[in-house]
């Protein structure tokens, strides 16, 4: 049985990926310091799959702790999710973001080199493209100057991995996510924002549930069909499955180069108002919203060209926007 380390494995995307790994017969080890997650998620993963993953409460900024972990645990692959991820907060706390997101990545890569571990999947983001010149966005689209320290940590992270792969046997895939939403069909795991949600879908479901008074729709004068910003919303379970496909690609030596990049999206853009309408349709719940000014750092539109991921990686999204929004609502109702 192949062993896989998942850092940030109790987070939103991490927990869904752990479930899919276990479903595919992998033995999973989780590192998570609970800075933006809950230990309760470990029980919920176990109740879905029937298998409890090994769990380590380690802060990846602690170099000695990282060294000790790798000295005593041999793994066949690493999926690295652990990172701070709020765009707005990163503008307020840039140094904390660089320390956490870059420092932890470097320590893991150093230990991989020291212990001759080679298979690495990096959780990256479509933020690296900024406002792309052309839509849909291919993997060859130019990397734009980052709009936030968070986005910059993903750009720098990719560069570090690429450099490391040149001087070692490291094989790495950076997966550039578009907008992950939704929840597992069991409604036992989902997106659990601590405090006021920074992302659209948790805010939509909390507004529908009466937790928030109304949803602010940032910007209604964009150059889009209805004036609101357009994004590529991908079901988190589809996204999780892509990590397993990518990991197997490395383990089976099917990669075409030591460092590869794939976009993970549906290939379809939806506006904020379309998302609200879809949510209201599948749930029968009304969402109070108001149109307000644009938010700094937001782009007009982003959606993926999925051809390369579909054909070369052999993965494609299967679940719809309606599926994702209904699952997010079911998850909210369990909270």
Residue owning tokens 């840039």: 94
Six-digit token pair at 216?
């602010």
Identify the burial level of 64 via C-beta atoms within 10 angstroms of its C-beta, where 0-12 means exposed, 13-18 middle and 19 or more buried.
exposed
Given a contact cutoff of 8 angstroms between Cβ atoms, the answer to whether 208 and 329 are in contact is yes
Residue owning tokens 């599948």: 282
200/143 Cα distance (integer angstroms): 25
Given a contact cutoff of 8 angstroms between Cβ atoms, the answer to whether 192 and 276 are in contact is no
256/170 Cα distance (integer angstroms): 13
Given a contact cutoff of 8 angstroms between Cβ atoms, the answer to whether 9 and 53 are in contact is yes
In sequence order, the β-bridge partners of residue 175 are 123, 262
Given a contact cutoff of 8 angstroms between Cβ atoms, the answer to whether 15 and 189 are in contact is yes
150 included as an active-site residue? yes
Which one is catalytic: 97, 107, 129, 150?
A: 150
> Among positive and negative, which fits the CA dihedral 232, 236, 239, 241?
negative
Identify the burial level of 225 via C-beta atoms within 10 angstroms of its C-beta, where 0-12 means exposed, 13-18 middle and 19 or more buried.
exposed
- For residue 327, the SS3 value is helix
List, by residue number, the catalytic residues.
150
């Amino acid at each position: 049985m192949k062993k896989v380390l998942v850092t940030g494995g109790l987070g939103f995307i991490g927990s869904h990926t752990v479930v899919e790994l276990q479903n595919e017969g992998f033995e999973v080890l989780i590192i998570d310091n609970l800075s933006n997650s809950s230990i309760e998620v470990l029980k919920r993963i176990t109740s879905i799959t029937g298998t409890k993953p090994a769990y380590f409460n380690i802060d990846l900024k602690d170099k000695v702790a990282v060294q000790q972990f790798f000295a005593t645990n041999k793994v066949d692959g690493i999926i690295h999710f652990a990172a701070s991820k709020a765009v707005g907060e990163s503008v307020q706390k840039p140094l904390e973001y660089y320390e956490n997101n870059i420092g932890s990545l470097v320590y893991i890569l150093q230990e991989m080199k020291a212990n001759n571990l080679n298979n690495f999947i990096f959780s990256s983001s479509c933020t690296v493209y900024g406002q792309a010149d052309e839509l849909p966005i291919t993997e060859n689209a130019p990397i734009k100057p980052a709009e936030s320290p968070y986005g910059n940590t993903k750009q720098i992270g990719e560069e570090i991995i690429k450099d490391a792969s040149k001087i070692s046997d490291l094989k790495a895939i950076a997966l550039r996510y578009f907008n992950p939403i939704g929840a597992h069909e069991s409604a036992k795991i989902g997106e659990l924002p601590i405090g006021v949600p920074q992302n659209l879908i948790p805010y939509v479901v909390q507004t529908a549930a009466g937790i928030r008074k109304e949803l602010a729709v940032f910007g209604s004068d964009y150059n889009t069909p209805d004036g609101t910003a357009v994004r590529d919303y991908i079901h988190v379970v589809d996204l999780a499955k892509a990590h397993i496909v990518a990991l197997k690609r490395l383990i089976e030596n099917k990669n075409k180069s030591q460092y590869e990049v794939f976009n993970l999206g549906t290939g379809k853009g939806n506006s904020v108002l379309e998302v609200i309408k879809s949510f209201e349709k599948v749930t029968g719940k009304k969402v109070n919203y108001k149109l307000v000014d644009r938010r700094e750092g937001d782009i007009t539109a982003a959606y993926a060209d999925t051809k390369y991921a579909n054909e070369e990686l052999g993965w494609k999204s299967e679940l719809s926007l309606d599926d994702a929004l209904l699952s997010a609502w079911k998850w909210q109702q369990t909270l």
